[in-house]
Structure 1
Amino acid sequence: MPRTPRCPRAFRPSVPAALAIALAAGTVTVVTGPASAAPDGSQIVVSEVYGGGGNSGSVYSNDFVELYNPTSADVDVTGWRLEQRSANDGLGRAVTLSGVVPAGSHFLIAGKAGATPSAALPTPDQSADFDFGAKAAIAALFDASGAPVDLVGWGTAVRSETAPAPGTSNATSIQRDASGADTDNNATDFAPAAPTPEASSGSETPGDPGGPELPGETAVTPIAEIQGTGAASPLVDTTVTAEGVVTAVYDEGGKNGFFLQTAGSGKQAGAASDAIFVYMGSRTDYPQRGASVRVTGTVGEYYNQTQIAAAGVTELDAPLETPVALEIEALPAGGEAREPYEGMLVRPTGAYTVTDNYSLNTTGDLGLAPGPLAHRTPTDVVAPGAEAQALAAKNDAEVVYLDDGRTRNYFRTDKSTPLPYLLTSDQGVKAIRTGDAVDFQTDVVVDYSFDRWRFQPLEPITGKNTAAELPITWEDSRAASLDVPAGVAGDYSIGFFNVLNYFTSLGEEEAGCKAFTDMNGAPVGTDDCTVRGAYSKEALADQQAKIVTAINRLDTDVLGLSEIENTATVTGDVAKRDEALSSLVDALNAAAGEQRWAYVASPATLPGSEDVIRVAFIYNPATVTPVGESRIFDDGAYTGTARQPLAQAFEPTAGGDDFVAVVNHFKSKGSVALGDADTGDGQGNNANLRVAQAKALLTHLGEQSDWAQLPTFLVGDFNSYTREDSMAALEQGGFGIVHTEKDFDQASYQFGGELGSLDHVLANAAARGMVRDSAVWNINGDESAAFEYSRRNYNAHDFFGDGADPLYGYGNPFRSSDHDPVKVGFDLKKADNPGGTVTPGGSSGSSVSPLGILAALLAVIAGVVAAASSAFPGIAGALQGLLSRG
Structure 2
Amino acid sequence: MSPDRPRRMLAPTSAAAAVILAAALGAAPTALADATTPVIAEVYGGGGNSGAVLRHDFVELGNPTGAALGLDGWSVQYLPASPGANTRAQVTPLSGEIPADGRYLIRQAAGAGGEVDLPTPDAVGSANMAATSGTVLLVSGTAPVECRTAAACAEDETIIDVVGYGSAVIREGAPAPALTNTTAAARDDSLTDTDDNAADFRAGEPTPVNAAGEGLGEGPEDPGGPEEPGELRIHDVQGVTRTSPYAGDTVTGVPGVVTAINAFGSARGFWFQDPEGDDDPRTSEGLFVFTGSTTPALAVGDEVLVSGRVNEYRPGSGTQTITQLDQAVWTTLSTGNPVPESVTLEAGVIPATYAPDHGGDISDLELLPDTYALDFWAAHEHMMVRIEDAPVIAPTDPYSAFWVTVEPDHNRTANGGVVYGSYDDPNAGRVKIESLLDRDVRPFPRVNVGDTLAGVTEGPVYYSRFGGYLVRATALGEHVPGDLERTPVRDTARYEVSIATYNVENLGGQDDQAKYDALATGIVEYLGGPDIIGLEEIQDDNGAVDDGTVDAGVTLDRLVAAVEAQGGPAYEWRQISPEDKQDGGVPGGNIRNAFLFDPARVRFVDRPGGDATTAVEVVQGARGPELSVSPGRIAPKDPAWESSRKPLVGHFRALNRDIYVVTNHFNSKGGDQALHGVAQPPNRTSETQRNAQAELVADFSEELLAADPNANLVVMGDLNDFQFSRTLEILAGDGPLHNPMTDLPAGERHNYVFDGNSQALDHILVNQALAGRVDYEVVRINSEFHDQVSDHDPQVLWLDTRRSTPPGRY
Which interval holds the TM-score relative to the shorter structure? 0.5 to 0.7
- Note the 1:674-693 alignment, pairs <5 A: 680=684, 683-693=687-697
Match of 2:674? none
- Note the 1:205-224 alignment, pairs <5 A: 208=220, 211-212=223-224, 214-215=226-227, 221-224=232-235
Alpha-carbon offset, residue 694 of structure 1: 2.2
The one-letter code of the counterpart of 2:129 is D
Match of 1:762? 765
Q: Give CA deviations for 1:370-390 in whole Å, capped at 9, x if unaligned.
A: 5357899999855xxxxx5xx
Alpha-carbon offset, residue 490 of structure 1: 9.4
Q: Report the Cα distance in structure 1 between the residues aligned to 2:290 and 2:547, rounded to whole angstroms.
A: 56
Match of 1:586? 561
> Of 211, 224, 244, which residue of structure 2 is paired with 1:198?
211
Match of 1:148? 134
Q: 1:783 to 1:72 in 2, by over 3 A?
A: farther
Aligned to 2:457, what secondary structure does the other structure show?
Answer: coil
Aligned to 1:315, what secondary structure does the other structure show?
Answer: strand
Q: Report the Cα distance in structure 2 between the residues aligned to 1:173 and 1:353, rounded to whole angstroms.
A: 53
Q: 1:256 to 1:690 in 2, by over 3 A?
A: same
Match of 1:184? 197
Aligned to 2:650, what secondary structure does the other structure show?
Answer: strand
- Is 1:350–1:371's contact at 8 Å kept on the other side of the alignment? no
Q: Report the Cα distance in structure 2 between the residues aligned to 1:281 and 1:541, rounded to whole angstroms.
A: 40
Alpha-carbon offset, residue 208 of structure 1: 3.4
Q: 1:98 to 1:310 in 2, by over 3 A?
A: farther
The one-letter code of the counterpart of 1:340 is A
The one-letter code of the counterpart of 1:662 is V
1:232 and 2:218 equivalent? no
- Is 2:41–2:187's contact at 8 Å kept on the other side of the alignment? no
Q: Report the Cα distance in structure 1 between the residues aligned to 2:794 and 2:419, rounded to whole angstroms.
A: 20
Aligned to 1:286, what secondary structure does the other structure show?
Answer: coil
1:108 and 2:111 equivalent? no
Q: Report the Cα distance in structure 2 between the residues aligned to 1:764 and 1:313, rounded to whole angstroms.
A: 68
Q: Give CA deviations for 1:763-807 in whole Å, capped at 9, x if unaligned.
A: 334433333x422123334566xx6xxxxxxxxxxxxxxxxxxxx
- Note the 1:633-648 alignment, pairs <5 A: 634=632, 637-639=635-637, 641=641, 642-643=645-646, 645-648=648-651
The one-letter code of the counterpart of 1:339 is A
Alpha-carbon offset, residue 822 of structure 1: 0.5
Alpha-carbon offset, residue 560 of structure 1: 2.3
1:313 and 2:330 equivalent? yes
Match of 1:475? 481
Match of 1:658? 657
The one-letter code of the counterpart of 2:341 is V
Q: Report the Cα distance in structure 1 between the residues aligned to 2:784 and 2:43, rounded to whole angstroms.
A: 46
Alpha-carbon offset, residue 577 of structure 1: 9.0
Q: Report the Cα distance in structure 1 between the residues aligned to 2:559 and 2:458, rounded to whole angstroms.
A: 49
- Is 1:713–1:761's contact at 8 Å kept on the other side of the alignment? yes
- Is 2:384–2:461's contact at 8 Å kept on the other side of the alignment? yes
- Note the 1:362-441 alignment, pairs <5 A: 362=399, 364-366=400-402, 371-372=407-408, 381=421, 388=423, 391=424, 395=426, 401-405=432-436, 430-432=446-448, 441=456
Q: Report the Cα distance in structure 1 between the residues aligned to 2:345 and 2:280, rounded to whole angstroms.
A: 11
Q: 1:353 to 1:400 in 2, by over 3 A?
A: same
- Is 2:289–2:328's contact at 8 Å kept on the other side of the alignment? no
Q: Report the Cα distance in structure 2 between the residues aligned to 1:586 and 1:428, rounded to whole angstroms.
A: 36
Q: Give CA deviations for 1:120-148 in whole Å, capped at 9, x if unaligned.
A: x9974379xxxxxxxxxxxxx96279853
Match of 1:866? none
Match of 1:716? 717
Alpha-carbon offset, residue 184 of structure 1: 0.6
Alpha-carbon offset, residue 662 of structure 1: 1.1
- Is 1:494–1:557's contact at 8 Å kept on the other side of the alignment? yes
- Is 1:142–1:149's contact at 8 Å kept on the other side of the alignment? no
Q: 1:315 to 1:695 in 2, by over 3 A?
A: same
1:289 and 2:305 equivalent? no
Q: 1:340 to 1:829 in 2, by over 3 A?
A: same
- Note the 1:235-274 alignment, pairs <5 A: 235-236=246-247, 237-263=249-275, 270-274=281-285
Aligned to 2:649, what secondary structure does the other structure show?
Answer: strand
Q: Report the Cα distance in structure 2 between the residues aligned to 1:571 and 1:77, rounded to whole angstroms.
A: 25
Q: 1:186 to 1:348 in 2, by over 3 A?
A: farther
Fraction of identical pairs, as percent: 21
Q: Report the Cα distance in structure 2 between the residues aligned to 1:666 and 1:583, rounded to whole angstroms.
A: 22
Match of 1:796? none
- Is 1:305–1:448's contact at 8 Å kept on the other side of the alignment? yes
Alpha-carbon offset, residue 222 of structure 1: 3.4
- Is 1:245–1:292's contact at 8 Å kept on the other side of the alignment? yes
Q: 1:471 to 1:496 in 2, by over 3 A?
A: same
Alpha-carbon offset, residue 491 of structure 1: 6.3
Q: Report the Cα distance in structure 2 between the residues aligned to 1:209 and 1:256, rounded to whole angstroms.
A: 22
Q: Give CA deviations for 1:514-540 in whole Å, capped at 9, x if unaligned.
A: xxxxxxxxxxxxxxxxxxx233xxx25
> Of 460, 463, 472, which residue of structure 2 is paired with 1:445?
460
Aligned to 1:263, what secondary structure does the other structure show?
Answer: coil
> Of 377, 381, 397, which residue of structure 2 is paired with 1:342?
381
Aligned to 1:685, what secondary structure does the other structure show?
Answer: helix
Alpha-carbon offset, residue 450 of structure 1: 5.2
- Is 1:209–1:311's contact at 8 Å kept on the other side of the alignment? no
Q: Which ranges of structure 1 fall in alignment gaps of 5 or more residues? A: 1-38, 50-63, 81-96, 111-120, 128-140, 154-159, 165-171, 383-387, 407-416, 460-468, 504-532, 673-677, 788-813, 832-849, 851-886
1:278 and 2:315 equivalent? no
Q: Report the Cα distance in structure 2 between the residues aligned to 1:629 and 1:702, rounded to whole angstroms.
A: 22
Q: Give CA deviations for 1:94-121 in whole Å, capped at 9, x if unaligned.
A: xxx99753398664379xxxxxxxxxx9
State the Cα RMSD in Å.
5.8
Alpha-carbon offset, residue 555 of structure 1: 0.7
Q: Report the Cα distance in structure 1 between the residues aligned to 2:599 and 2:668, rounded to whole angstroms.
A: 36
Q: 1:103 to 1:44 in 2, by over 3 A?
A: farther
- Note the 1:122-133 alignment, pairs <5 A: 124-125=121-122
Q: 1:300 to 1:722 in 2, by over 3 A?
A: closer
TM-score when normalising by structure 1: 0.54
Q: Report the Cα distance in structure 1 between the residues aligned to 2:531 and 2:297, rounded to whole angstroms.
A: 62
Match of 2:398? 361
- Is 2:395–2:785's contact at 8 Å kept on the other side of the alignment? no
Alpha-carbon offset, residue 552 of structure 1: 0.7
Alpha-carbon offset, residue 499 of structure 1: 4.9
Match of 1:67? 61
- Is 2:302–2:335's contact at 8 Å kept on the other side of the alignment? no
Q: Which ranges of structure 2 fall in alignment gaps of 5 or more residues? A: 1-31, 45-57, 64-69, 81-89, 108-117, 137-162, 166-173, 179-185, 315-320, 352-371, 584-589, 608-626, 672-681, 806-810
Alpha-carbon offset, residue 278 of structure 1: 2.8
Q: Give CA deviations for 1:189-209 in whole Å, capped at 9, x if unaligned.
A: 999xx9995269x9xxx9937
Match of 1:737? 739
Q: Per chain length, whose mean CA-contact separation is higher, i.e. which structure has more relative contact order (CA < 8 Å, sep 6+)?
A: 1
Q: 1:761 to 1:107 in 2, by over 3 A?
A: same
Instruction: Compare the two structures and name the one with the higher helix fraction.
Output: 1
> Of 340, 345, 351, which residue of structure 2 is paired with 1:328?
345
The one-letter code of the counterpart of 2:257 is V
Q: 1:819 to 1:152 in 2, by over 3 A?
A: closer
- Is 1:67–1:108's contact at 8 Å kept on the other side of the alignment? yes
Aligned to 1:588, what secondary structure does the other structure show?
Answer: helix
The one-letter code of the counterpart of 1:693 is V
Q: Report the Cα distance in structure 1 between the residues aligned to 2:254 and 2:200, rounded to whole angstroms.
A: 48
Residue-pair matches, total: 600
Alpha-carbon offset, residue 761 of structure 1: 1.9
The one-letter code of the counterpart of 1:242 is V
